[in-house]
Amino acid sequence: MRLAFSTLGISGLPVSEALALATAHGWDGIELRAHPEEPVHPGLDRAERTRTAEEFEAAGVQLLALAGYARVAAPGDDGPVLTEISQLLTLAHDLKAPFVRVFPGATRGQSRTDADATAARRLGTAAEEAAALGVRILLETHDTHRTGADAIRVLGPVGHRHAGALWDVLHTWLGGEHPRETFAALSPHLGYVQVKDVASPDDTTPLPLGTGAVPLAECVRALVRGGWDGWLCWEYEKRWYEAAAPLPELLEAGRAHLTRLLINEAV
């Protein structure tokens, strides 16, 4: 497997500095948070897109994904959501990123049946554009659809190879789903996996990998024994937790911890 980290842990840092961290600490790729407050977002002009793609290529680091914020299950007209996804897909194509992340994002009072059908309809439509651009849209296990069982209710009906799943191991754990169950549900659709660590379900302040309660070893075991060989991406949510330790000083140990887990399961 290959290892990446998310810029959610270094919010606002220029791409050149994020790439320098990746190369200095041996990470293979970077997931870019695609938000207007970040250096990379759909508002970039052609020259900025070209420059960003060239920076990644020169550094020998893969731009793994654009982490967008479109909410595919949210109530309302499809148009604005599909436009938001389209902008992300075009940016991903221009930057040579294989994946775009979207959230479920249903709202309180919305029925599960309606939320699932809305998300499936929008993903099915957007997947056609994604296929034309050579990008996959990944529905993250998050918020109203935090488990693999939740996500598959949407992805099963979509049935399009360019609409897949992003397994956020924190949310499936908080949802009470065992890693074996998550992998069984998502493996036909899995794009990549976000790893995290926290102290407990009641304290989700990000911690260095291997120092909290999230069952990372069990997640890696399910992936390895299932024959999956993709990307693990550390999403360290420093952006939302000011008191959390700075990510740069944790990157070396984080990569080493994931490498040990992979080695242990390979023997």
- pLDDT for res 265: 83
Q: Is the pLDDT of residue 18 over 80?
A: yes
What average pLDDT score do residues 196-200 get? Answer: 97
Residue 106 has what pLDDT?
Answer: 96
Contact 176, 149 (CB under 8 A): no
Per-residue pLDDT at 187: 96
Reading the block at residue 240, the tokens are: 């939302």
Q: How many domains does the chain have?
A: 1
Contact assessment for residue 116 and residue 73, using Cβ atoms and an 8 Å cutoff: yes
- For residue 113, pLDDT over 80 is answered with yes
Quick one: pLDDT at residue 135?
98
Residue 76 has pLDDT above 80, yes or no: yes
pLDDT band at 266 (very low <50, low <70, confident <90, very high): confident
- φ/ψ region of 249 (left if φ > 0, alpha if ψ in -120 to 50, else beta) reads alpha
* pLDDT > 90? residue 90: yes
Nearest Cα residue to 66 out of 109, 108, 29: 29
b/e for 245-263, b at 16 or more Cβ within 10 A?
eebbebbeebbebbeebee
Side chain identity at residue 264, one-letter code: N
In the predicted model, is pLDDT for residue 133 greater than 80?
yes
Could you tell me if 137 and 127 are in contact, meaning their C-beta atoms sit under 8 angstroms apart? yes
Place 267 in a pLDDT band, splitting at 50, 70 and 90.
low
What mean pLDDT do residues 185-204 have?
97
Between 109 and 63, whose confidence is greater?
63
Please give the residue range of the domain that contains residue 32: 2-266
Q: Is the pLDDT of residue 101 over 90?
A: yes
* pLDDT at res. 99: 98
CATH number at residue 229: 3.20.20.150
Average pLDDT over residues 63-83: 98
Percent of the chain beyond pLDDT 70? 100
Mean pLDDT across the chain: 97
Residue 45 pLDDT > 70: yes
Whole-number Å distance between alpha carbons of 70 and 83? 9
Provide the token pair at 216: 């990372």
- Tell me what the mean pLDDT of segment 99-128 comes to: 96
Q: Tens digit of pLDDT for each residue in 218-239?
A: 999 999 999 999 999 999 999 9
